[in-house]
Structure 1
Amino acid sequence: MFPSVPLLHLILVALTAHIALAGVRITTSLYALSMHASEFTVGILIALFSLFPMLGAVAAGRLIDRIGILRPMMAGSIAMALGCALPGIVDGLPVLFLATMLIGTGFMVIQVAAQHMVGAASAAEQRASNYSWLALGFSVSGFTGPVLAGLIIDDAPYFTAYLVFAGVAAAAFVLVASGKLSEIHLHRPARHTETGKALDLLRLPEMRHIFIVGMLLSSAWDLFTFVLPIHGARSGFAASTIGFILGCFSTATFLVRLAMPLIARRLSEWQVLTGALVLAALCYAVFPFVRQPLSLMVVAAILGLAVGSAQPNMLALLHHVAPSGRAGEAVGIRVTIGNACQVFLPLAFGGAGAALGLPVVFWSMTAMICAGLPIAWRKTRLSKAE
């Protein structure tokens, strides 16, 4: 079933903003490497995309619970456009530190708003389907951004790519300012019937389990987008080749999300998440042995199938379990945890990659994912019993 036209418009806004984020992330990695930055420096830059989102996502969720999504999404798109434009105007490595913070923070606001509103505007029986459509949008943008960046960088200076993505972020602002989002009708009123600290939500076992498994699968996704440009550049791949490998990953996330309504008829949310953990662990275990572009595309696609299946199921579970009136805050906590991983993992694994080599990074991620399997397996058995 298709979402309503206003919800499709919301998904288009999120897709447009994510094109800018996904494109600028790979552009920033390759631009920094072209200036002979170390893996650790690249790790810092990628971490800065997530630093302020980590610190502000819960507050953004609470604000969105109170005032709605329009003004926050407008502010987020302006911050993204400004952050993308800065490196297009000012050369050098230092400006990238400010740009990444602006872009990451702006996208966080749009992400929290979109994920919350899709849940709040959906009936319980349509929520997973609508989240699948949102996830499909992110898959399209996850493919378009890196491929577009690679094609531009191969034929034009880096500042051109930054200015193109500034224009994409500006398009997101225009879509928000058009007023279509005000036509979204809430299925569940956005009011506070419960209050409390964010940590109270973490004390709920069901939510805690969702957050842990979500953190692991989000880390598997984010580490891949961080490590692949470094691995590809060190292997001598062209920027367009790296972009196409990332594109294969995103295409796989799109396909699995397209099939999610059929999968959901046969498997519970926790069964899907357990399978995703297993596949992701296997992919990271074999990455050190995969060195050719074609084989990397295959493994990247399998990893995309795994992590791409996770987000719609996690969001549906989260919105179902969250206390009434605190769904935006719950989404903010999820985004905070995900961004915390995006801050610390690039720093830790960037340092490890520089000191010990990328195989250590891949196998460390394998071990982390495997640590979450007991939780997911236990929840799968309980879901079968029910």
Structure 2
Amino acid sequence: MRTQTGLLLAHTIVVQAVTFMLRPASAYRALDLDVPAAWLGVLGASFAVVPLVLAVPSGHAVDRFGERRIVLAGSGLLAAAGACFVLFADSVAGLVVASMVLGTGHLCAVVGQQALVANRTAADRYDAAFGYYTFAASLGQALGPGLIVVFGGDRPIPDTGAIFLGATALTLPLLVAAAFLRPSAHHRQAAGPAAGGLAGLLRQPGLVRALAVSCVVLAAVDITLVYLPALGAERGIAAGSIGVLLGLRAVASMASRLLLGRLVAAVGRRGLLVGTVALSAAGVGLLLPPLPLWAMAVVVTVSGLGLGAGQPLTMSFLAESAPPGLRGRAMSLRLTGNRLGQVVIPSAAGALAAGAGAAGVLACTAAGLAGAAVAATGLHQGPPPDPTPRPEREEPC
């Protein structure tokens, strides 16, 4: 089982690293082609449009055909996306098509991975398992931009052709790892007559609340990523200092995910979710008054701890709420809500920023997080962690 865990985490890291190589590289190629700024937005949206439509069907496919097949399909689509960037990136249309293929491959891989974690882990170990999983995803997202420098150099516009080739080469181990993953066999089990498919899934206690909390937390991550630099510009804080603050936030988020199992054992899943989301709300809110840089570093680190724990904890609630045979669809619903939140909430924030500035956007973000913390109090308490050792076959993936 440890081998399977290692394969899944390695696959997760490489999927995110390849995606976070190719997305910025596609923007660099567009700039190299002198693409108008409006088309950059189209290029960015093309990554999310097809996955937004296919998210729930991909979850249904996981529940019907098993996790490995969908993870393998996602890996193949990531390889195809790399090839599309290599062959067709000399035009805007080629970049858009390649980005659509990339987004679809990323979606299939992620839905399959998350369902595999949910289906192969005991309920009282969900938090540790999803903590390790999201830590691996964060690590891959951090490695991806660094690999741009490795393959493309450190020029203002790197050698995108070399980046596309390097990313395509990295997808080959993905196919191998996916082929050796063992499915959970939950796709062979009936979800039960009470489940009632997607409609029944949405009626599961706490599921809609968990989806809403996940959406708000992820949108808050995106908003702070954009508007913390804007706040720095308004207050004359150097870009390098803002970069350090964002780095501290990312490291804090990764630390909270790595220690999630122990934290849940100490305070319980619901208590930890309410506390961490409230902590992130307080952290974002404390950025509103002018602060010295050291105080901002403390506040951003605190908010990073809270924001990092929110995603894996909501995954745990969803996995526990969904019956066996419907967990793929539960994870795909979460991704759909997250994508919608990433489109709608930052867009509304942009409209607000025109009048209220970055501080106004952050104030609304803090209020939204506070509301999410209140909503999280209505989630049912997960099972207490079992202190007795389990056989090796039940280790979390």
Task: Sort the Cα spacing of 1:172 and 1:94 in 2 relative to 1 into closer, same or farther, 3 A.
Answer: closer
Residue equivalent to 2:102? 103
Cα distance in 2, alignment partners of residues 10 and 286 from structure 1: 38
Task: Sort the Cα spacing of 1:17 and 1:191 in 2 relative to 1 into closer, same or farther, 3 A.
Answer: same
Cα distance in 2, alignment partners of residues 379 and 251 from structure 1: 28
Residue equivalent to 1:175? 174
Once the two structures are superposed, the pairs formed by residues 1-386 of structure 1 within 5 Å of their partners are: 4-25=2-23, 45-83=43-81, 90=89, 96-149=95-148, 155-156=154-155, 158-160=157-159, 163-164=162-163, 167-168=166-167, 170-178=169-177, 181-182=180-181, 184=182, 186=184, 190-194=188-192, 196-227=196-227, 246-287=246-287, 299-353=299-353, 357-379=357-379
Cα distance in 2, alignment partners of residues 229 and 47 from structure 1: 22
1:147/1:244 contact within 8 Å kept: no
Cα distance in 2, alignment partners of residues 312 and 138 from structure 1: 11
Deviations 1:45-97 (A, max 9, x none): 54443322222111001101112233433332343345456667635766554
1:84/1:162 contact within 8 Å kept: no
Cα distance in 1, alignment partners of residues 273 and 112 from structure 2: 24
Task: Sort the Cα spacing of 1:381 and 1:141 in 2 relative to 1 into closer, same or farther, 3 A.
Answer: closer
Task: Sort the Cα spacing of 1:67 and 1:380 in 2 relative to 1 into closer, same or farther, 3 A.
Answer: closer
Q: State the shift of 1:237 in Å.
A: 6.6
| SS class of match (1:192) | coil
Could you say which structure has the larger radius of gyration? 2
TM-score (norm 2): 0.78
Deviations 1:356-384 (A, max 9, x none): 54333322322222222322234489999
1:213/1:372 contact within 8 Å kept: yes
2:35/2:92 contact within 8 Å kept: no
Instruction: Work out the number of aligned pairs and report it.
Output: 379
Q: State the shift of 1:115 in Å.
A: 0.4
Task: Sort the Cα spacing of 1:328 and 1:360 in 2 relative to 1 into closer, same or farther, 3 A.
Answer: same
Query: What amino acid is aligned across from residue 15 of structure 2 in structure 1?
Result: A
Task: Sort the Cα spacing of 1:179 and 1:81 in 2 relative to 1 into closer, same or farther, 3 A.
Answer: closer
Q: State the shift of 1:338 in Å.
A: 0.8
Cα distance in 2, alignment partners of residues 310 and 162 from structure 1: 37
Cα distance in 2, alignment partners of residues 287 and 30 from structure 1: 32
1:252/1:302 contact within 8 Å kept: yes
Query: What amino acid is aligned across from residue 134 of structure 2 in structure 1?
Result: A
Deviations 1:85-119 (A, max 9, x none): 66676357665544443322221111100000111
| SS class of match (1:193) | coil
Cα distance in 2, alignment partners of residues 324 and 17 from structure 1: 26
2:131/2:312 contact within 8 Å kept: yes
Cα distance in 2, alignment partners of residues 360 and 277 from structure 1: 19
Cα distance in 1, alignment partners of residues 313 and 285 from structure 2: 25
Query: What amino acid is aligned across from residue 53 of structure 2 in structure 1?
Result: L
| SS class of match (2:377) | helix
2:74/2:109 contact within 8 Å kept: yes
Query: What amino acid is aligned across from residue 333 of structure 1 in structure 2?
Result: L
Greater CA drift, 89-98 or 371-380: 89-98
Deviations 1:308-356 (A, max 9, x none): 1122222222111112311111111111111111222343334444565
2:25/2:163 contact within 8 Å kept: no
Query: Identity percentage over the alignment?
Result: 24
Greater CA drift, 134-143 or 58-67: 134-143
Q: State the shift of 1:256 in Å.
A: 1.1
Residue equivalent to 2:387? none
Q: State the shift of 1:15 in Å.
A: 1.2
2:59/2:331 contact within 8 Å kept: yes
Segments of structure 1 that go 5 or more residues without pairing to the other structure are: none
Task: Sort the Cα spacing of 1:315 and 1:382 in 2 relative to 1 into closer, same or farther, 3 A.
Answer: closer
Task: Sort the Cα spacing of 1:349 and 1:83 in 2 relative to 1 into closer, same or farther, 3 A.
Answer: farther
Cα distance in 1, alignment partners of residues 302 and 153 from structure 2: 27
Cα distance in 1, alignment partners of residues 382 and 271 from structure 2: 10
TM-score (norm 1): 0.80
Query: What amino acid is aligned across from residue 57 of structure 1 in structure 2?
Result: A
Task: Sort the Cα spacing of 1:28 and 1:294 in 2 relative to 1 into closer, same or farther, 3 A.
Answer: farther
Q: State the shift of 1:151 in Å.
A: 8.0
1:219/1:338 contact within 8 Å kept: yes
Task: Sort the Cα spacing of 1:211 and 1:80 in 2 relative to 1 into closer, same or farther, 3 A.
Answer: same
Q: Aligned-pair RMSD on alpha carbons?
A: 4.0
